[in-house]
Amino acid sequence: MAVYRQPGTVVTDHAFDVPLDHAVPTGERIQVYAREVVAAGREGEPLPWLLFLQGGPGGRSPRPLGRDGWLTRALDDYRVLLLDQRGTGRSTPANRQTLPARGDGAAQSEYLAHFRADSIVRDCELIRRELLGAEGRWSLLGQSFGGFCALTYLSLAPDGLREAFITGGLPGLRTSAGDVYRSAFPRVERKNTEHYDRYPGDVEAARSVARHLRDHDVTLPDGGRFTAEAFQSLGLMLGTGTGSHTLHYLLEDAFLPGTDGPVLSDGFLAEAQGHLSFAANPLYAVLHESIYGQRSVSAAGTGWAAHAAHLEFPQFDVDKALAGQGPVLFTGEMIYPWMFTGDPALVPLREAADRLAVREGWPDLYDPAQLARNEVPVAAAVYHDDMYVDTADSLATARAVRGLRTWVTDEYEHDGLRVSGGRVLDRLIRLVRGEL
């Protein structure tokens, strides 16, 4: 167990062996890694623990650089545990390099079926008992998908929690994957409108890039196919506070003069690849729609729900946009089957992803009856017109969880926890404590 220091903090590495399938505790085991962070000089104090669950799915925990970001506020009161959720970061990996060892796509999908929020919560409970003892309780901070996990935690194991803070992560309790994406496209369209109102010259810039990609075979530096549809998916960044500006600067550098006409610059392609590649977080793509699967909502598979919903919104069709005079609309947090044919990090996982898409009978993740009698203090930041999580669903869920207090704000976008320097977390702490 390594212990080291960073500016203002003492950091301790932890590794835990947990069952792959918690229903079979004597079966195969995997490892889950977590990083403990405490303020320097306070490492010997009996501070309460704060567990952080990252967004995603498939995102590793933040890599702190000392006392920075929201940790600045958290470390005033807590000993923080940054969890690499199963399959991510330093936990037992699940990616194109490791999953083929499990067998064919069917075997891989069976393995990955154990990587949803219910398994993550049960991992957390084993870790809690090991670190705090059977009677110990800790606080929970869930960002985005981590907030989804927090609702699962409140449903399955509320006795392990003393309080919960949720940022941009109140899901619809009875919302199917199809519902999620049908409500998402209008929000994404609004973000496009805001972007093009801010940067009207980007309308023609984006059309030029999309037209070039339709007329030429273009590959990214990693060998992945760069299509017009892949270009549209850069709109994922529009839901963050600085995403629109980042997209604008990316488009600014798109073209250089070539011997036979304009060509997409190496710098543009490299930066686009950084936004598009799933090499660092393949589970985000593989598991993205399965996080909405609940048999009591829909016993059927999620079935590439984003792709099906896309067909209901023809304004996002790139060819129709290019045939007319309108803007090419960027898409948002949608995963499509074609990503598993164009991204080298995903190509080997196509069969597993297809099988997960048709998998039926996903266990329920939320218990509305338990949430209605909740006794754990909960506060949630709900971002007005959040591009990634439907605000109406979030507010309906807030009303369904007994005692949950909300802070609805348009001061921040979905990444408010990360960019606010601790202000978002501070407000939620004060809400839970009754100071507001």
Catalytic (active-site) positions: 144, 386, 414
**Interacting residues of 62 by C-beta distance below 8 A, sequence separation 6+:** 52, 54, 69, 82
Cα(424)–Cα(420) distance, integer angstroms: 6
Number of separate helices (H) and strands (E) present in the chain: 18, 11
Cis, bond preceding 262 (omega within 30 deg of 0): no
Q: How many residues does the chain have?
A: 436
Residue 322: helix, strand or coil by DSSP?
helix
Cα(237)–Cα(275) distance, integer angstroms: 8
**Interacting residues of 376 by C-beta distance below 8 A, sequence separation 6+:** 154, 158, 161, 162, 163, 164, 403
User: Cα 263 vs. chain centroid, distance in angstroms?
Assistant: 33
Cα(366)–Cα(219) distance, integer angstroms: 42
Element spanning 272, H or E = helix 266-276
Tell me how many degrees the CA angle 296-300-301 measures, rounded to the nearest 5.
Answer: 115
Cα(275)–Cα(285) distance, integer angstroms: 13
Residue 179: helix, strand or coil by DSSP?
helix
